[in-house]
Amino acid sequence: METRDFGRLGRISALTLGGGGIGGVWGGTDRAEAVATVHAAIDAGITMLDLAPSYGTDFESEHVVAEALRGSAHEVHITSKVQLPDDDVRDFAARIRRSLHHTLRRLNRDHLDVFLLHTQFRPDGTALPGTVTPADYRAEIAPEFARLRDEGLIRAWGISAVGDPASVREAFRTAPAPDAAQIVVNALDQNGDMWIHGDTASPDNEALLTAAAEASVAVIAIRAVAAGSLTSALDRPVAPDHPAAIDFARAAPFRELAAARGESPAALAHRYALSVPGVSTVVLGVKNRDELAECLKAESQPRLAPEELATIRALA
């Protein structure tokens, strides 16, 4: 498997196994199959696992990886996240540290390779449930991540670059700067149900990629198949007005293009994300070994040429 530069961590695999699939977020799976999928991913050369406490019931993704790696000699990078609650008790630094210690205990590890803020940004002076402001980030959040890195409890830290775009770009420029950012990268630039800001701003993910590169922030590409909207069929029931259902309908021309090329939509979507300049690794939302195999095959194919990327972007 191709490896790419990831700043403080050196080189990592072009594909990362995500915790959403093995945690049961993207359709049903079971513990045995999830553990087997982790083993298959590592055997195939994947060197990073991207988890979160919220991926699955009762921290399932973290429990799956703890079981999969028990007694293993494999060297693998593990990321997890902290989501800051929406209530009147700020105390962000204490909550970040407490969440990390809970994750390390579940994983039976003494450090994380990457620890990520799993909360969106809103502009200063505005109100939006479940978000943080640049002022919060500068004063409390970034300094605590930096302290954890200095203490050796994490090797690197980053943010979820989903939310008010200007605030995210400001975070890239703020010292201490994040080492990494998770940015939505998919063929039709679909944020789906991750975009909670209504029509007040555009996600502008291409601009975020440029800003990350300018700030030397490693990019972890997420939502390569747009929560299933860029696959052959949604693998979980959603209401007709759910963002995934709306995006799936919008993606009909993409599925037609994939068919004309003799590829599955999911394979083409992953080849697209892998081919976008500036991406260090692409997170997979697979939940079993069959889905993993399809992504591994896509990774083994040549990267798309600039003109092919442009043709796909034109479908958005």
Locate 84 and state its tokens. 């800051």
* Spatial CA neighbour of 291 closest among 6, 5, 94, 17: 17
CB atoms < 10 A from the CB of 300, how many? 11
CB 232 within 8 A of CB 255: yes
Q: What is the pLDDT along the chain (316 residues), one digit of tens a residue?
A: 999 999 999 999 999 999 999 999 888 899 999 999 999 999 999 999 999 999 999 999 999 999 999 988 788 999 999 999 766 677 999 999 999 999 999 999 999 999 999 999 999 998 888 899 999 999 999 999 999 999 999 999 999 998 888 999 999 998 999 999 999 999 888 877 776 766 544 567 889 999 999 999 999 999 999 988 999 998 788 899 888 889 999 999 999 999 999 999 999 999 999 999 999 999 999 999 999 999 999 999 999 999 999 999 999 8
Locate 198 and state its tokens. 């209504």
Q: What is the pLDDT of residue 266?
A: 95
Domain of 180 in residue numbering reads as 3-313
In whole angstroms, give the CA distance from residue 52 to residue 73.
23
CB atoms < 10 A from the CB of 143, how many? 15
Q: How many domains does the chain have?
A: 1
Residue type, 165: P
CATH code (residue 146): 3.20.20.100
Q: What is the pLDDT of residue 52?
A: 96
In whole angstroms, give the CA distance from residue 218 to residue 7.
6
CB 286 within 8 A of CB 17: yes
Provide the whole-model pTM: 0.94
In whole angstroms, give the CA distance from residue 121 to residue 214.
20
